[in-house]
Amino acid sequence: SISVDTIYNNEQEYLGKVLTIVDISEIKRREKEILYLSYHDVLTGLYNRTYLEETIQRLDTPRQIPFSVIMGDVNGLKMTNDIFGHDEGDNLLRNVSKLLKKVSRTEDIIGRWGGDEFVILLPKTSEEEVHMITKRIIRAFDDNENTYNVQGIKPSISLGYGVKTREDVDIF
């Protein structure tokens, strides 16, 4: 940050200028971190519910129709937490998020809605396309070798989707 101030004596005669330079790199880094944390889930690194809700409202326009939304619910999270502990439950959620990112398109908006629920926003995506995407995600979970397993258990997710095809329909 740079600021320039003019200096005058008591008779208001110009004496010169003072240039002040302050390194605000750390402040900017913290601002970026705060912004990141305000829109991302700390556990998975995916977008959080706040970001998803704001994005839905921003993208809920006629230009984005058909607008598809996939909702997923992780199977067995409570059981994983009860049997293996919350650290392993967290690992399960992280692995599910990694799998979702791996199989999704770059333009897909993936987030953790809360708890064991995930959402994928798909503007300009028809019912046929979202159906194929959903099948691809399920296949990726089924075909998962052992890379994403938690305590030898393969992650699993239940999925559903909806498609907004008309402007007068409330996306929520």
User: Could you tell me if 61 and 83 are in contact, meaning their C-beta atoms sit under 8 angstroms apart?
Assistant: no
Q: What is the 3-state secondary structure (H, E, C) of 46-90?
A: CECHHHHHHHHHHHCCHHHCCEEEEEEEECCHHHHHHHHCHHHHH
What the block records as the tokens of 145 is 């070798």
Catalytic hit among 60, 82, 116, 168 = 116
60 is a catalytic site residue = no
User: From residue 171, how far is each of 1, 39, 44 by CA, in Å?
Assistant: 44, 21, 25
User: From residue 70, how far is each of 39, 53, 89 by CA, in Å?
Assistant: 19, 14, 22
Residues serving a catalytic function are: 116
